[in-house]
Amino acid sequence: MATQLLLQFPSFDPSEFDSDAENRANAGLTLLQRWTEESGSGQWLLFSVNDIPKAKNWLEKSAALGHGPAASHFLRTA
C-alpha cells in the first residue's frame, strides 16, 4: 500500500517552500497535489512518502526551525 503525507499550512511562503525542495527530496517526499484554502492564505499539500522514518525526521526538523505544518497526517491508500 502506498503511504502519503497530508500537510496543512495556515500561511504559506512559496519561496520558503521552494528553498526546502532538496530537503524534502532527501526525506523521500514527492509533491502530488497542492490546494489553496478558500480564504487564499492557507495551503494543503499531499506528498508521496518513500521512507516514513525520513519523512518523520523532516517534519521534526521543520517544526524545530519554526516552519513546520500546523497539521500532518500519514495516510495509506485503502
Secondary element (H or E) of residue 4? strand 3-9
User: What digits encode the pLDDT tens for the residues 30-48?
Assistant: 999 999 989 888 999 999 9
Question: In the prediction, which pLDDT does 53 show?
Answer: 97
Residue 11: phi, psi to the nearest 5?
A: -130, 150
What CATH number corresponds to the domain at position 37? 3.30.70.260
Number of domains forming the structure of the chain? 1
Residue span of the structural domain in which 50 resides: 3-76
Cell 519554526 found at: 66
Question: In the prediction, which pLDDT does 78 show?
Answer: 85
| Global pTM value | 0.91
